[in-house]
Structure 1
Amino acid sequence: MTVRLWVLSDLHLDVYPLDLDPPEHDVAVIAGDVSERLCRHVLPWLADLRARTGKPVVYVPGNHDWWKGKYQPQLAEARELAPAAGVDLLVEGEVAVHAGVRFVGATLWTDWGLCPDQRARAMSDGADRTTGMHDVRKIQNRRGPGSYSAFLPVVTAQLHRDQRRRVEAALAVPYAGPTVVVTHHAPHERSLRGGEWQTPLDAAYASDLSAVLEGPHAPTLWVHGHVHESRDYRVGGTRVLSNPRGYVEVTPGTRGQPEQRKPENPDFDAALVVEV
């Protein structure tokens, strides 16, 4: 029996709204970056989607979803809210099963080591408060009781190690049906713009998980977001898929003409369904 997955990511609804017409599907798989403010905006939107479709929603938060909040308190609150919203919240390697398909999910922040000899440079560039990753300024990391600091690459690198370990442990558990891994950050450099590492900051978008994709516990499908271009390729025994909307460039209308909208990813398919 095949299971139909409706695959989406990087909707960025806080930047520009989107009216979705859900296709026929069995499970919605959303690989992060729905909107900033995870608990206030994202989970209510997902709860509404779940109510509208009556179908399971598997969701992994993206980096953007954590913006304008404190990471640890948001995570604790989201864990409380997600069950009532009917949403499978997968953040750190958790597992959900629907229609015979096992889903393993994590945000999977990168290890910054996509190009090993450039790792220190990548982390330094990522931490720059002017030209680096917005996450550094937009998310707060708890250092201790009542003490918060910037969400620096050293923090996300540790989160990556922890989450990767849990994902791999979940994959190692025998399962008779297909397994789908869902992450926000990409598992291979082929997902990058241009299909390969080009600059130090590319290490903020993907890690090299070839050993997992080609290993004995490789999943059937790996869904990710973060890179605002569509991807569909194979590494080892795993199909890697991304269907991000990205941002929308809006030019105001003049002289009675409507505004012009230019999607960042023209290949985004709001009704993309894949079968496993």
Structure 2
Amino acid sequence: MGRSGGFLFRRLGERVNIVLIHLRQEIQTDPHRIRIDQFLDDLGAAFVRMSDGPGLARTIEGPLPMPRLWILSDLHLEAAPFPDAYDPPRPGFDVLVAAGDIWRGGPEKAVATVARLAAGRPAVFVAGNHEPWGMTPARCMARLKRAAKGTDVTVLDGEGAAIAGVRFIGATLWADGLLSGLHLRPLQTTGEGVLSPSGQGTITHGDEAALHAAERRRIAALLEQAPDGLPMVVVTHHAPLTDRMPPGLRAHPGAGLFASDLSTLMTGNRIALWVYGHIHAREDRLHDSGARIVANPAGPLFSTPGFEDDCVVTVGAGMDLKTRRED
């Protein structure tokens, strides 16, 4: 395709991405909305891929409408005396992003809570390390997927989905244990109430390291395969960086259960935003790669300092646009 033709297709693809955001507002009650979203997003991305060079113009005149992501994690509602009482005023948002640990040992309750909070809008959910309490991670995921059928909740387990003009990639991630040498004790149990993937005994450091390695490879493959045209948002429960852990946690022998260093994935890919939970500490910063790193965990009984019921982050509707925080 000629240079001018590629430019026109790129502009058309960007316009399609803008139109689909507006269309989505008109089809909120359609039970097939997520399927329509996927088609429209993939259509827009396909037009952009038909351009023939990275040097082509990637922006259009005028402001772009940008999807708003409502971010939260680690509600731990199993610890709340009246869990359904958590019903905050809904901020203006297009997609709810829940980064795990919504309900310990209750996959169905976790999905129902996310759906209730989203109130008819799309939601993206990754399992934390507490959802599979009392079961294997695979068993938990099967229950989560089953519970999400017929709802607006998309459960991601090493998978991607295009929703509301954003390409989401999500997984629990687990952790490699390197931060505190846990990888050197692969047969030692972690102390978590999660069953080993084999179903024999509780999960070990070796089990978690293997889960982490598999999910890290899957995230890397999805990032590499993702077409241009939509901003990419990665959602994990475990932390993708180790450099900002709270000092007290960093010095703990179990620190390797919380975070791993995925900075090379950020540097080598076009990631607009990375959302995570697990560490009960707020974070909102810009990584050297240009990716925004955001964590908004509530903690048991909403004990995390700085947790916000209305944390909304806006991402760009086209390539290479910066993210910004909605205050």
Give the structure-2-normalised TM-score. 0.70
What is the aligned-residue RMSD (CA, Å)? Answer: 2.1
- Counterpart residue number, 1:56: 122
Distance 1:99 1:31 in 2: 18
Identity between Structure 1 and Structure 2 (%): 37
1:274 paired with 2:274, answer no
Distance 2:239 2:153 in 1: 22
Provide structure 2 residue ranges, at least 5 long, that are not aligned to the other structure: 1-64, 316-327
1:161 paired with 2:210, answer no
- Structure-to-structure mapping, 1:46-195, within 5 angstroms: 46-50=114-118, 52=119, 54-91=120-157, 93-114=158-179, 118-120=181-183, 127=188, 133-135=190-192, 138-143=193-198, 148-173=200-225, 174-194=227-247
Counterpart of 1:6, as a letter, is W
Distance 2:247 2:185 in 1: 18
Question: Which is richer in helix?
Answer: 2
1:242 paired with 2:295, answer yes
Q: Deviations over 1:3-33 (max 9, x none)?
A: 1000000001111232322111000000001
Distance 1:23 1:37 in 2: 28
Aligned residues: 245
1:200/1:122 CA distance change after superposition, 3 Å: farther
1:7 paired with 2:59, answer no
- Given that 1:183 and 1:224 are in contact with CA atoms closer than 8 Å, whether structure 2 keeps it comes out as yes
Counterpart of 2:307, as a letter, is F
Bigger radius of gyration, 1 or 2?
A: 2
Distance 1:122 1:196 in 2: 19
- Given that 2:284 and 2:293 are in contact with CA atoms closer than 8 Å, whether structure 1 keeps it comes out as yes
Provide structure 1 residue ranges, at least 5 long, that are not aligned to the other structure: 249-262
How far is 1:148 from its partner?
Answer: 2.6
Q: SS at the partner of 1:66?
A: coil
Q: Deviations over 1:185-244 (max 9, x none)?
A: 0010134113984333111100001101111x1411000000001011222221111001
Distance 2:250 2:79 in 1: 28
User: Structure 1 residue aligned with 2:99, among 31, 50, 56?
Assistant: 31
1:208 paired with 2:274, answer no
1:64/1:191 CA distance change after superposition, 3 Å: farther
How far is 1:123 from its partner?
Answer: 5.5
Give the structure-1-normalised TM-score. 0.82
Question: Which is richer in strand?
Answer: 1
- Given that 2:98 and 2:125 are in contact with CA atoms closer than 8 Å, whether structure 1 keeps it comes out as yes
How far is 1:72 from its partner?
Answer: 2.3
